[in-house]
Amino acid sequence: SAGITMADQWRITSNLSSSSGTFSANWERTDTEFDKLGTGLTESSGVFSFPSNGLYLLHFHSTGAGNGDRYMGLILKVSTDNGSSYQTRAENYASVYNSGNNTWGNASIDVLLDVTNYSNFKFYFNHSSSGTITWYGDTNNTWTGLYTLRIGDT
């Protein structure tokens, strides 16, 4: 194995306020002190695809605020049949810190995926909370985003 042959990073560029749904808009490849290594992921309406087979490390993290909410969560959905169906592969829910009427929280997902047929392999992230959360996004700072490393052959 040649080691890490692909590294890529993406982020949400503007805030998203919702109690549940998909991070489907306002994605950009990070361009602040970063340039992808290798081919990188492709993205369309929040659905990501891989450039080749291999073992990938995905890390998705988020920061959000609400108004008296108790939790915020992230869900990784994966398809191995070119998007015909998706299965939940990872979830993480975080308690939020309550400061007066505002609540703040962070949630993240770390997962290794064995991509054996990259042309049919896709993924996206859902979010959930006990009330409306404003998931932070910014074009110069990664509040909510994803980095991926291809760490080797399988």
Per-residue CA distances from 31 to 133, 139, 140 (Å): 26, 9, 8
Neighbours of 20 (CB within 10 A): 12
Encode the chain (154 residues) as per-residue pLDDT tens digits: 567 999 999 999 999 998 899 999 999 999 988 899 999 999 999 999 999 999 999 999 999 887 766 788 999 999 999 999 999 999 998 877 666 666 788 899 999 999 999 999 999 999 998 888 889 999 999 999 999 999 999 8
* Chain segment 7-42, per-residue pLDDT in tens: 999 999 999 998 899 999 999 999 988 899 999 999
